[in-house]
Structure 1
Amino acid sequence: MPSLEFTLPHWAYWAGLILFPLIAMSLAKRPKTENPKYSAPLGYMILVTGGMMGLHRFYLKNLWGLLFIPVFLAILVGNNQSAGARADLSDAANIVRMAETTIQRETERMKAAEDSLPGLRADLAATEEGSFARRSAEKKVARAEERLTKGTETVTRAQAERDAALPAETEAKARYDKWHNVSAYAFYLLLAAMILDAVLLPGMLKKANASIPPKQELTETEKALKALEEEELKDDSRHVSSGWTGWIDRLSLICGEFVSYWAVIAVFVYYFEVISRYVFNSPTSWAHESMYLMFGMQYLIAGAYAMLCESHVRVDIFYAPLSRPKKAWADLLTSVFFFIFAGTLLVTSYIFAFDAIAVPTGNSVISDWARGQIGFGEMLTSLNLAQWTDPAIRWGEISFNEWEIPLWPMKWVMVIGGLLLVLQGVSKLAQDLRAVVKGA
């Protein structure tokens, strides 16, 4: 079974977080076609990402995709069984290796003790009875004889352990080879089927599009669902206020929509992790870390959006029945607690972010500036292409696992999230003042 050794480059991680939401936002705003058809790009994307399970055929309403499922399950079962056999093989091989090492070590010690015994006994015979030299010689002879006795026992025990582990090693090796071949043959069979379907896909698309029934007038239920969908799309824009606070609301709205598409990235990354782990036996060292860092940034950036749409959890038993001016008064009185929290978040995040680029391991000119070793002007004039492309240059704090992703960008995102939250609080405060003054 081939392995799948791939480590996501840092630049690809950041490019994906920036470019994917931009592309998704533009695609989401495209007008929907009146006569939808099966798409060749989408069909090939499903073939590449989920072709081993026949999802591309299910997309085209082709039930021959069911044949892919048992073969895919054979890969999973084969990998699972081979993983167990590999563990048993490793355990048995370790026992054999340790036993052989013990036998070799003890044999050498026994030979050295046996070779030294004639000389030690001769030295013993040459000493006087009751003398200190005789007692010392007797102890040396006793130690050598004891070493021979214990060595013989240790070698016998190690030989027994080795002889017991050798059949288990042979059986585990045979079992591993068997299930490894099952998963490998099933994988190559699916790979051949996917290559064949890549050639047949245009014909399948043509057949699937020809089977689409002519467009009929929507039923009342479909019209209601469509109207509800359109209403939901307009719902967020209703939160954008008029006046100078509108740009703050729109900024929060755009940022919230932007990071919402990161959840789609997580689907692809975790899907890749599952496939690489259970199909190719190649778990990644970056998937989990990249996603929990992404979700942490998403949580911070979406805070202002949640405040704009009033999505934060709150107990509003007394608040909900109030009129708009009274709600505004209540919000004004409690806004001091909000600004204490948001201001603390912003200031603390800035301290964390600045410390992250000033860590001693940072050897970039920006890290030197953050540590106060050079001035701001010298830092700007020292920036060059090598500062961005040289892999030996570290801008600041990095993670401790094998991926070694820089952590300082995430901490600067905390600053952005705190700033957005403060701005949205200012917008809310201005709208509450407006409601109190106007009385509506």
Structure 2
Amino acid sequence: MPSLDFTLPHWAYWVGLIVFPIFAMALANRPKPEEKRYSLGLGYFILITGGILGLHRFYLKSLLGLLYIPVFLCILYANSQGHDARSVVSDLANAVRIAERTLERETERVGTAEADLPALREELETAKVQEEEGSFVIRRAERNVERAEARVEEGRVLIVEAQGNLETARPQVESARAEMAKWNNVAKYAFWLILAGMALDALLLPMLVKRANDRLPAHEEMSETERALAELEARERKDDADHVSEGWTGWIDRLSLFCGEFVAYWAVIAVFVYYFEVISRYVFGSPTNWAHEAMYLMFGMQYLVAGAYAMLTESHVRVDIFYAPMSRRNKAWVDLLTSVFFFIFAGTLLVTSWIFAFDAISVPSGNSLVSDWARGRIGFGEMASGWNMAQWTDPNIRWGEISFNEWEVPLWPMKWVMVIGGLLLVLQGISKFAQDLRKLFAGDDPPSAPPDRPASEAAMREAA
């Protein structure tokens, strides 16, 4: 299988986090067509992202998409067998290297010992003639002869063992390499087969979309379940809008709603990134070094920015056994009193994240302008006037704190997102505080009206 060595550029990561939600929000809020039609653009999008599984065929309700599944499973199986064969090749090749080194080392040692034996034996005979029996000179000469003879004997045993290992391992290595090459070829040819099918479908896709649209009934009526889902979605959107207050606090509420919806689409990015990671790892045998870090950084930022939205829509966890039965004024009193603890938390988060953000850009780096300004060594005017194109084009210039793994993504933007999240939370707290004051001066609770529950909810429950 060909390898897939791709590392996401840092600028593409941050640009994608900004551009994709805007694009997704525009698609989600566009007017829905009255008549359901298959989209050629969506078909090509699915072909690019999921064509290896035939998802574009399933989108058009074509059973020929099932042909992609066994080929894809063949790739996974062949890669698994090829991985096992690669491990066997590595182990056997290591055994061959050890045997070759042993043979080379022991052959030299045995040769040296055999060459030294005659001189050592002659020295021993001379010592026996010239020295008294049991003297130190005789014992040393005998020990030298014994060591040389033992070295020769042990070396010959190791040489025989190494030669036997070589005779056994070398054919096994060749067999394992052939097995690995076989499974690599199976995976490679199956992958090219899928690519050929995708290329053919890319040419046929306009005709396939037209044929699928022609098969649609002229006026397709919604089922009870689809109607219930549509009404439920409309109610949920209405509920979000109902949280927006009147007056100047409404601007804060709308900002929190916008930011919450904006970062919600980051979860869609995670689907694509992890899909790419799975395909890279199990199809191309090229696991990424950036996918996991990119996503947990993204989810951390999503958690921070969505805090204000959760507070506005009351989506957070709250134990309201005593709070729920209270009147409107009493709830406002409780919220005002407990807001002290909220502002302590939100204010601490904002101040601490501000310190973290400046610490992140003050880390000494290739971009000394930013780090020196953050550390107070130069003024803002000197920092602003020192910019040139090298600040953007020189790969050796880094901006502040970076991650410690191979991807080395800058971390200071995430630290500034912490500041944004803390600021949004403080603003939403101010909005909630102002609304609680309004409730205190508004008088008694308005008469409660029964909730507007669509009649199709019963059908929704039955369908569930």
The alignment's TM-score, normalised by the length of structure 2, stands at 0.89
1:206 alignment counterpart: 210
Structure 1 contact 46–55 (Cα < 8 Å) conserved: yes
CA–CA separation in structure 1 for the residues paired with 2:88 and 2:3: 21
Residue 138 of structure 1, CA deviation: 4.6
Residue 156 of structure 1, CA deviation: 3.1
1:315 alignment counterpart: 319
Structure 2 contact 365–397 (Cα < 8 Å) conserved: no
CA–CA separation in structure 1 for the residues paired with 2:124 and 2:413: 77
Task: Give the counterpart of 2:285 among 278, 281, 285.
Answer: 281
2:264 alignment counterpart: 260
Larger deviation: 284-293 or 334-343? Answer: 334-343
**CA spacing shift, 1:320–1:201, aligned 2, 3 Å:** same
1:438 matched to 2:460? The reply is no
Task: Give the counterpart of 1:172 among 170, 176, 180.
Answer: 176
CA–CA separation in structure 1 for the residues paired with 2:157 and 2:427: 79
2:83 alignment counterpart: 83
1:129 matched to 2:131? The reply is yes
Larger deviation: 3-12 or 104-113? Answer: 104-113
Structure 1 contact 262–294 (Cα < 8 Å) conserved: yes
The alignment's C-alpha RMSD in Å is 2.1
Q: How does 1:86-97 map to 2 (within 5 A)?
A: 86-97=86-97
> Structure 1, unaligned stretches of length 5 or more?
none
CA–CA separation in structure 1 for the residues paired with 2:99 and 2:239: 72
CA–CA separation in structure 2 for the residues paired with 1:231 and 1:296: 29
CA–CA separation in structure 2 for the residues paired with 1:226 and 1:112: 90
Amino acid at match of 2:8: L
Residue 31 of structure 1, CA deviation: 0.5
2:460 alignment counterpart: none
CA–CA separation in structure 2 for the residues paired with 1:8 and 1:432: 47
Amino acid at match of 1:21: P
1:346 matched to 2:347? The reply is no
**CA spacing shift, 1:393–1:123, aligned 2, 3 Å:** farther
**CA spacing shift, 1:219–1:102, aligned 2, 3 Å:** closer
Residue 8 of structure 1, CA deviation: 0.6
**CA spacing shift, 1:238–1:197, aligned 2, 3 Å:** same
Structure 2 contact 92–172 (Cα < 8 Å) conserved: yes
Amino acid at match of 1:225: L
Structure 1 contact 350–415 (Cα < 8 Å) conserved: yes
CA–CA separation in structure 1 for the residues paired with 2:34 and 2:422: 43
2:7 alignment counterpart: 7
Structure 1 contact 352–411 (Cα < 8 Å) conserved: yes
> Structure 2, unaligned stretches of length 5 or more?
445-464
1:396 alignment counterpart: 400
Structure 2 contact 131–137 (Cα < 8 Å) conserved: no
**CA spacing shift, 1:362–1:372, aligned 2, 3 Å:** farther
Larger deviation: 173-182 or 271-280? Answer: 173-182
Residue 105 of structure 1, CA deviation: 1.9
Larger deviation: 381-390 or 13-22? Answer: 381-390
Structure 2 contact 367–391 (Cα < 8 Å) conserved: no
Amino acid at match of 2:436: D
1:105 alignment counterpart: 105
Larger deviation: 160-169 or 349-358? Answer: 160-169
Amino acid at match of 2:131: E
CA–CA separation in structure 2 for the residues paired with 1:136 and 1:47: 83
1:406 matched to 2:399? The reply is no
SS of the residue corresponding to residue 219 of structure 2 reads coil
Amino acid at match of 1:66: L
Listed one character per residue, the Cα deviations across residues 91-148 of structure 1 (whole Å, up to 9, x for unaligned) are 1111111221222122222223333334444555555526666555554444433332
Listed one character per residue, the Cα deviations across residues 219-247 of structure 1 (whole Å, up to 9, x for unaligned) are 66554433322222222121111122112
Amino acid at match of 2:345: F
Larger deviation: 359-368 or 249-258? Answer: 359-368
How many residue pairs align between the two structures? Answer: 440
Residue 45 of structure 1, CA deviation: 1.4
SS of the residue corresponding to residue 199 of structure 1 reads helix
**CA spacing shift, 1:281–1:409, aligned 2, 3 Å:** same
1:245 matched to 2:249? The reply is yes
CA–CA separation in structure 2 for the residues paired with 1:268 and 1:116: 71
1:68 alignment counterpart: 68
CA–CA separation in structure 1 for the residues paired with 2:427 and 2:126: 99
CA–CA separation in structure 1 for the residues paired with 2:198 and 2:115: 69
Structure 1 contact 362–397 (Cα < 8 Å) conserved: no
Structure 1 contact 342–421 (Cα < 8 Å) conserved: yes
Q: How does 1:121-200 map to 2 (within 5 A)?
A: 121-125=121-125, 128-129=130-131, 136-200=140-204
Q: How does 1:287-306 map to 2 (within 5 A)?
A: 287-306=291-310
CA–CA separation in structure 1 for the residues paired with 2:314 and 2:376: 42
**CA spacing shift, 1:111–1:359, aligned 2, 3 Å:** farther
Larger deviation: 297-306 or 131-140? Answer: 131-140
SS of the residue corresponding to residue 97 of structure 1 reads helix
2:48 alignment counterpart: 48
